[in-house]
Amino acid sequence: MVKYFEKIYKGSKNEFHKLVRRNLKNDTKMFIVTANPETLMIAEEDYNFKKALLDNNTTIIADGIGVVKGAKMLSYNIEETIPGIELCSKLFEYCNELKKSIFLLGAKEEIVSKLVNIINSKYPNAIICGYENGYVENKQAVFNKIETLHPDVVLVALGIPQQELLIYNNLDKFDKGIFVGVGGSFDVLSGVKKRAPKLFRKFNLEWLYRIVKEPARFRRFFNSNIKYILKIRRIKNVKGKNNKI
Ligand code: UDP
């Protein structure tokens, strides 16, 4: 667990967005994982996912407040959260400004096609070089197609850990591209689902809004977050004891 906190990007959201813009402009390949406590708990139980997260070429950012707070309990200072959904919007903006191309993979057909229309009208200089919904059977075949298109940005919205594993297993085939697993971002950016109101975001309660709106998430959220808190407390206790010796 500590290894993830050591690795997670510590700077501000603004600095990170600038770094991504620079890499996009210079064709520097980047794989970004937007982590919440559930991400880290899945990685603890899934060797391949853990390997993907801890790879030197992977950048992890704190998507949710639980990651910032957990890190703080173990004396790692992460300045603030960098929500994946905001990174996604920034990438559209940068692609528009720099005339770069995007491939979108994930979400239902009506959602991803709606998002493509929104990008085309709001960011006319961004080039959508292709898109595919996330319910096609052979997602590897989609990635084989993406490889031939050489996109500057590849956004994959399939949920964790499928989206990250698919990117990680194909990453070596690409010599440029900003690759991000963006979870439910297409649902929100297409306008089909609403993001938590500002007040919830201000008090770091976006997670609560999502549970209220989608109660089916509760069990998943509760299990992973309770395990996460217990794990961090255990590490903190061990650290405390070691410091006393
Ligand atoms: N999804 C998909 N194919 C699948 C399973 C899920 O395209 O086989 C999409 C789903 O429609 C949604 C996204 O993946 O748009 C996952 O959203 P969720 O909010 O569950 O993401 P997470 O909480 O994992 O970030």
The predicted-structure confidence for 85-102, as pLDDT tens digits, reads as follows: 999 999 999 999 999 999
Confidence (pTM): 0.94
The pLDDT of residue 34 is above 90: yes
Q: Which atom of ligand 1 is nearest to the CA of 163?
A: 14
Which of 63, 109, 131, 187 is the best mutation target for the ligand 1 pocket, counting ligand atoms within 8 Å of the beta carbon and taking the most? 187
- Structural domain count, the chain: 1
Domain that holds residue 132: 2-195
pLDDT digits over 109-120, tens only? 999 999 999 999
Distance 186 CA to ligand 1 centre (A): 9
Residue nearest to atom 3 of ligand 1 (CA): 134
Mean pLDDT of the chain: 95
Distance 104 CA to ligand 1 centre (A): 13
pLDDT of residue 3: 95
pLDDT digits over 160-185, tens only? 999 999 999 999 999 999 999 999 99
Distance 107 CA to ligand 1 centre (A): 6
pLDDT of residue 245: 60
- Range 25-37 average pLDDT: 98
The pLDDT of residue 151 is above 70: yes
Residue nearest to atom 5 of ligand 1 (CA): 158
- Any idea which of 43-57, 85-99, 124-138, 188-202 has the lowest mean pLDDT? 188-202
- Per-residue pLDDT band for 204 (boundaries 50, 70, 90) equals confident
Distance 87 CA to ligand 1 centre (A): 17
Which of 158, 166, 189, 223 is the best mutation target for the ligand 1 pocket, counting ligand atoms within 8 Å of the beta carbon and taking the most? 158
**Residue 147 to residue 55: CA distance in whole angstroms:** 21
DSSP assignments along the chain, one per residue: -HHHHHHS--S-HHHHHHHHHHHHHTT--EEEEEE-HHHHHHHHH-HHHHHHHHSTTEEEEE-SHHHHHHHHHTT--------HHHHHHHHHHHHHHHT-EEEEEES-HHHHHHHHHHHHHHSTTSEEEEEE-TT-S-HHHHHHHHHHH--SEEEEES-TTHHHHHHHHHGGG-SS-EEEE-TTHHHHHTTSSPPPPHHHHHTT-HHHHHHHH-TTHHHHHHHHHHHHHHHHHHHHHHHHHHHH-
pLDDT of residue 244: 65
pLDDT of residue 154: 98
Distance 183 CA to ligand 1 centre (A): 5
pLDDT of residue 98: 98
Q: Is there a domain that residue 142 lies in?
A: yes
**Signed CA dihedral, 224, 5, 21, 148: sign only:** negative
pLDDT of residue 161: 97
- Range 36-55 average pLDDT: 96
Distance 231 CA to ligand 1 centre (A): 26
Which residues sit with their C-beta closer than 6 Å to ligand 1?
A: 106-108, 134-135, 157-160, 183-184, 186-187
The pLDDT of residue 17 is above 80: yes
